[in-house]
Structure 1
Amino acid sequence: MQIETFPTGPLGCNCSILVDPVGKGAIVIDPGGDFDEIRARLERAGAQVAAIVHTHTHIDHVGATAPLQRWSGAAARIHEADRFLYDMLPIQAAFLGVATPETCEVDGDLSDGAIVKAGGLDLHVLHTPGHTPGSVSFLIESKAGAVAFTGDTLFRRGIGRTDLWGGDSKAIFSSIRRKLLTLDPSTRVVTGHGPSTTIGEERDRNPFLNA
């Protein structure tokens, strides 16, 4: 499995591209902006996008979704509980003082326990509400070890904010403790912004979880 993670958009959302090295099917997680960069990386990998998925639908995580969907023809997928946030992208844009991104049709089928497939890749969906009602994390396992993509739910030494639309501080702590900290400590965590970490590091050293 090939994984590329790189910051996109004005807020540096971490976009990840997962590629099956045999069939070259790809999953794109959180195309937050910079469509040309995302397309260039996919082309260099010789990859065909099978799915576009989102940890949540804040504007900085969906900025390049529409052009990527149009170019690739792949379905764009969210958790249904976050559809209201996607529908209010103009309000989110006004809040941040940025342009409203183009929108597209999105499927609300990223329910807890779902599996997103691309060739030999199986990306498991964990519903982890709190940052938003429809926040999800993704887990993939390989011979090299497990990787979790936690969006803005869990950061290195931090957690997601809960003071925006639909945020719930009780829910985010519950999600982290029940769905994420129960993973193997060696699981690498790719966060929505900033550096990666591991489940074990955050279990032991995250001040928000050990207060």
Structure 2
Amino acid sequence: MIQGRDEDEGCCCGGHEHDASEDCGCGSHEGGCCGDHEGHGDGCGGHGHEGGHSHEGGCCGHHGGGCCGGGCGHNASDDQIRMFIVGPIETDCYAYVSEGECLVVDPGNSGAAIARHLEDVRVTTIVATHGHGDHVGGVKALRDATGARFLMHEADVELAGRAGEASELGRSYDDDAPEPDQTIADGDVIELGTASFRVIGAPGHTPGGIVLLGQGTADGVAFVGDTLFKGSCGRTDLAGGDHDALMATLARLREEIPARTTLFCGHGDSTTMMEELEGNPWLQPDAVSDGMH
């Protein structure tokens, strides 16, 4: 396990290595360097989210309840998920490693530091779940350091191109995102090693939001960005937000993501689809029914 903050880059890097052959449960982050999570800022809220999910001590310890081993239904494999908490509002950036190849999801800041922590693998692909600065601010530095291709949905390219500007929340990030090497859309499949991820279009938080649903050795994994959180969902009062579109997206995710899937969120703790189907008010039938019409 890589631990510690890179002081030059402001990156709480390497915190968790999830073995995809183990089950994952997920609770609060215990032990480490980022301190308490004071809320989701740009990533969440807008729906009665009071204070977010607390990181007890920060990001470099294990997940209490066990994302380093305890409930996500992954296929037995040597695949890994590594987590980095970056930027002024603690964005969760993930690196999925399969057969030595690495897919990085949402490098929101500190791209050079993330690259240094991934020198033992070959970073081939960078994907943004959406175009907000806290999810793409580190793309340029990471791509420059690794030569990886950058993928995102076409509808968020313009938004990502302004990532280096101060956001509506008064924050700024490393760089504007570069033009993607390729745009991706609903139904596309991204492959690496023995794993693959199906792209699910997830507009609402932004027009070009996506979810990555794991297949192959990544079965049981979903990277959901700021669309869905533990007990809540993404806000729609920022640039490009659309409440009706988000409700339609949540209705679709309720039907398409298997209950055993672990949801790796853009901020705060991971969760499972089963937990959210049971307890997230925004996934209950009376809420999502509005999105089905």
How far apart in 2 are the matches of 1:86 and 1:132? 11
In the alignment, which residue of structure 2 is the partner of 1:147? 221
| 8 Å CA contact 1:181, 1:199 repeated in 2 | no
SS of the residue 1:89 aligns to: coil
> What displacement does 1:78 show?
0.8
How far apart in 2 are the matches of 1:17 and 1:72? 13
Structure 1 residue 37 corresponds to structure 2 residue 113? yes
Structure 1 residue 76 corresponds to structure 2 residue 150? yes
> What displacement does 1:117 show?
1.7
Q: Please point out which of 172, 181, 186 is paired with 1:107.
A: 181
1:1-211 equivalences in 2 (<5 Å) = 1-20=79-98, 22=99, 24-43=100-119, 46-93=120-167, 96-98=170-172, 101-142=175-216, 145-210=219-284
- Write out per-residue CA displacement over residues 80-136 of structure 1, whole angstroms, 9 at most, x where no aligned residue: 000120233355447524356254231352100111122222121111100000000
The change in CA–CA distance for 1:52 and 1:144 in structure 2 (over 3 A counts) is closer
The change in CA–CA distance for 1:144 and 1:209 in structure 2 (over 3 A counts) is closer
How far apart in 1 are the matches of 2:260 and 2:212? 16
SS of the residue 2:281 aligns to: coil
How far apart in 1 are the matches of 2:164 and 2:217? 43
What letter is aligned with 2:178? C
Give the number of the structure whose alpha-carbon radius of gyration is greater.
Answer: 2
> What displacement does 1:37 show?
3.4
| 8 Å CA contact 1:79, 1:136 repeated in 2 | yes
The change in CA–CA distance for 1:53 and 1:170 in structure 2 (over 3 A counts) is same
| 8 Å CA contact 1:128, 1:172 repeated in 2 | yes
Structure 1: unaligned runs, 5 residues or longer: none
SS of the residue 2:259 aligns to: coil
How far apart in 2 are the matches of 1:127 and 1:189? 16
| 8 Å CA contact 1:93, 1:100 repeated in 2 | no
In the alignment, which residue of structure 1 is the partner of 2:5? none
How far apart in 2 are the matches of 1:153 and 1:27? 20
The change in CA–CA distance for 1:36 and 1:119 in structure 2 (over 3 A counts) is same
What letter is aligned with 1:31? P
- Write out per-residue CA displacement over residues 139-178 of structure 1, whole angstroms, 9 at most, x where no aligned residue: 1134584111100000000000001111111111111111
Structure 2: unaligned runs, 5 residues or longer: 1-78, 288-293
How far apart in 2 are the matches of 1:102 and 1:128? 22
| 8 Å CA contact 1:58, 1:92 repeated in 2 | no
What letter is aligned with 1:56? H
How far apart in 2 are the matches of 1:99 and 1:42? 21
